[in-house]
Amino acid sequence: MEEASALSNVKHAKCATFYANKAYRVDVESTFVRALPGFSIVGLADTAILESRERIKSALSSIDFHFPAQKITVNLSPSDLKKEGSHFDLVIALLIATQKERFTCKDFFIFGELGLDGRVKKSNAIFPIVLSLASQQKDLHVLVPNELLSKIAHIPGIHAFGVETLYDALLFFKEKRFEQDTSVTNDSFLCEHRMSIHGKEYFYETRFPLDFSDVLGQHRAKRALTIAAAGMHNFLMEGSPGCGKSMSIKRLRYILPPLSIEEILESNAYASLENEETALCALRPFRSPHHTSSRPSIFGGGSLQSKAGEVALAHNGILFFDEFPNFSKTVLESLREPLEDHRVLISRVNTKVSYVTKFLFAAAQNPCPCGNLLSRTHECRCSEAEIARYKNRISEPIMDRLDLYVQMSEEHSKENGLSSSEMFQQVLNAFKMQKERGQEELNGKLSEAETMRHCLLDDEAKAGLETARERLGLSARSLHKVLRVARTIADLAQARLIAKEHMVEALSFRKR
């Protein structure tokens, strides 16, 4: 009878932890037993969770809870899964506070860090955990801090409820407020600009804080950047110092194609994992690591837990390498996998983590170490050996993975040329064509099979491509790159088939 009574005294609730790039459900159990008074948490909890005992005691005292003269044991199951994070505070405090109550909260996933005064605070781990759980389970019910409610409510297939304090959380379950229709669905931040294609919505911004109208002249470079943005193509810009390479690439972010809600949430989840606070908006990420950055900082790593690097944080956006040849050889050669397979695998003894890396890779470089090789006004001070050594830092396999090569001129035109608004309208029209064809991915990220299915050529274009393949000695990878770029150029021209002029322009952007 005593054993049955002990079982009936065990309270249950749900939380989750993030491990190896995935959220795992954690069953939280609590019980009071007759023994010397104490409070212990078991189940492979990290320091942040063990320290929560003092936060929980103080928060419970704010609602006039008196600890019984019994031992409180909290178990985090499964016990062989490492748990970390301060977001377990709220669920543990609720179980202790309601130990002798008859109601249950086991249908909810409960997250929140507690302040000493009982306030429920957010933590950076909550958003990516909830997003991962939503991809694994349908019709998810979560209780989160009010600060995160508007963000989490946008995750598809989720019922989100927010609380401000521990006392509010107690009333939420005691008064069964979850039975009322109070879950939040707020998409006001995305309502301004959206389009629907085949029943799926895509969101975009029309603000251009950095405008291409500031870039004087450089018409060919702007054309290349419009093509790169429309199809998310990787590219390299080469030119003398001060000709506008970095200036142009920094403006590219604002003319990139629209995003789906899933892509917006995914990018925010990666940023949250790295403790970065980002606004939930339709602006794609932009990452620009310095050329002295280490390989783990760019590709991810860590001895105990594999963390995301710059290539993962740039997912769905831009990864910009300025002074491209000055990056270390190991970093440059490690780019092959994320550029070709759109994925990076980090293997450690304890974990193996795979991150999706579908980003637009942009690189800028000088033509020689001193930068004056192409200059009409300054004399180059480099020897032929120094120039060869400088350019040979970028291997052929890396160059083969770049879709576009642009040599910037040193022109000093007073013409503004195209503005960001005009360039973005072209990108938007090309985006519509790609999605209306039924493409899941944009042209630059198509697989080989998808390339052959969507990149349809007319007879003249087929003949021109075959001639180019023979004369230029194009590899199979290079051939597919040319096809994808030509497809984007055709989309910008609103053409169903790739014509000869589209193919010729695509070939003109290959490095010779």
Give residue 89's pLDDT: 97
Sequence-ordered list of residues with C-beta below 8 angstroms from that of 93, at least 6 positions apart, any chain: 56, 59, 60, 114, 166
Q: What is the mean pLDDT of residues 142-157?
A: 89
Give residue 222's pLDDT: 94
Sequence-ordered list of residues with C-beta below 8 angstroms from that of 4, at least 6 positions apart, any chain: none
Residue whose pair of structure tokens reads 């991915």 in the numeric block: 441
Is residue 411 over pLDDT 80? no
> Is the C-alpha dihedral spanning 232, 236, 238, 244 positive or negative?
positive
Among 137-141, 169-173, 255-259, 300-304, whose mean pLDDT is lowest? 300-304
Do 323 and 236 meet the contact criterion of CB atoms below 8 Å apart? no
- Please, what is the Cα angle at 31 between 30 and 37, to 5 degrees? 115
Is residue 3 over pLDDT 50? no
Is residue 191 over pLDDT 70? no
Do 375 and 240 meet the contact criterion of CB atoms below 8 Å apart? yes
Give residue 19's pLDDT: 83
| Buried b or exposed e, range 423-462, using 16+ CB within 10 angstroms | bbebbbebbbbbbeeebeebbbbbeeebbeebbebbeebe
Do 359 and 314 meet the contact criterion of CB atoms below 8 Å apart? yes
State the pLDDT confidence band at 276, using cuts at 50, 70 and 90: low
Is residue 163 over pLDDT 90? yes
Residue whose pair of structure tokens reads 């990018």 in the numeric block: 267
Give the rounded distance of the alpha carbon of 100 from its chain centre.
44
Question: What is the gyration radius of the CA atoms in the chain, in angstroms?
Answer: 28
Q: Which burial class, exposed, middle or buried, applies to 107 when counting CB atoms under 10 A from its CB (0-12, 13-18, 19+)? A: exposed
What is the DSSP-derived secondary structure letter of residue 505? H
Is residue 212 over pLDDT 90? yes
Do 354 and 345 meet the contact criterion of CB atoms below 8 Å apart? yes
Among 115-119, 153-157, 274-278, 352-356, whose mean pLDDT is lowest? 274-278
Rounded Cα distance, 492 and 505, in Å: 12
Ramachandran region of residue 71, left (φ > 0), alpha (ψ -120 to 50) or beta?
beta
What is the DSSP-derived secondary structure letter of residue 354? E
Which among 496, 508, 484 is positioned nearest to 360, based on CA atoms? 484
Give residue 331's pLDDT: 95
What is the β-pairing status of strands 200-203 and 158-163?
A: unpaired
Give residue 274's pLDDT: 72
Give the rounded distance of the alpha carbon of 214 from its chain centre.
29
Give residue 154's pLDDT: 81
Mark out the alpha helices in 218-304 (DSSP H runs): 219-231, 245-252, 261-273, 295-299
Give residue 278's pLDDT: 66
Residue whose pair of structure tokens reads 């899933």 in the numeric block: 262
pLDDT tens-digit readout, 380-396: 999 999 999 998 999 99
Sequence-ordered list of residues with C-beta below 8 angstroms from that of 362, at least 6 positions apart, any chain: 228, 234, 235, 237, 249, 252, 318, 319, 320, 321
Structure tokens at 211: 């405008």
Alpha carbon separation from 486 to 57, 404, 500, 502 (Å, rounded): 65, 11, 9, 5
Give residue 486's pLDDT: 97
Greatest Cα pair distance, the chain, in angstroms, is: 95
- Per DSSP, the three-state class of 312 is helix
State the pLDDT confidence band at 324, using cuts at 50, 70 and 90: very high
- Please, what is the Cα angle at 354 between 287 and 475, to 5 degrees? 75
What is the β-pairing status of strands 140-145 and 71-77?
A: unpaired
Which among 164, 168, 144 is positioned nearest to 154, based on CA atoms? 144
pLDDT tens-digit readout, 331-371: 999 999 999 999 988 877 677 788 889 999 999 999 999 99
Give residue 4's pLDDT: 40
Sequence-ordered list of residues with C-beta below 8 angstroms from that of 219, at least 6 positions apart, any chain: 417, 418
Give residue 280's pLDDT: 75
Average pLDDT score, the chain? 89
Rounded Cα distance, 19 and 315, in Å: 20
Is residue 416 over pLDDT 90? no
For residue 168, the number of C-alpha atoms closer than 13 Å in the C-beta half-sphere is 16
Give residue 130's pLDDT: 92
- Per DSSP, the three-state class of 68 is coil
What is the DSSP-derived secondary structure letter of residue 401? T
Q: What is the mean pLDDT of residues 468-472?
A: 88
- Per DSSP, the three-state class of 503 is helix
List the beta strands (DSSP E) in 34-175: 38-42, 71-77, 109-110, 113-114, 120-121, 140-145, 158-163
- Per DSSP, the three-state class of 308 is coil
Q: First CA to last CA across the chain, in angstroms?
A: 85
Which among 146, 172, 171, 149 is positioned nearest to 160, based on CA atoms? 149
State the pLDDT confidence band at 262, using cuts at 50, 70 and 90: confident
Per-range mean pLDDT, top range of 60-64, 153-157, 351-355, 410-414: 60-64
Structure tokens at 153: 């409510």
What is the DSSP-derived secondary structure letter of residue 177? G
Give residue 7's pLDDT: 47
Q: What are 19's strand-pairing partners?
A: 22
Give residue 6's pLDDT: 45
Q: What is the mean pLDDT of residues 243-266?
A: 92
Structural domains in the chain, CATH included, are 2-179 (3.30.230.10), 208-216+231-412 (3.40.50.300)
Torsion of CA 375, 379, 381, 384, to 10 degrees: 60
Give the rounded distance of the alpha carbon of 221 from its chain centre.
27
Give residue 347's pLDDT: 79
pLDDT tens-digit readout, 68-125: 999 999 999 999 999 999 999 999 999 999 988 877 777 899 999 999 999 999 998 8
Give residue 319's pLDDT: 97
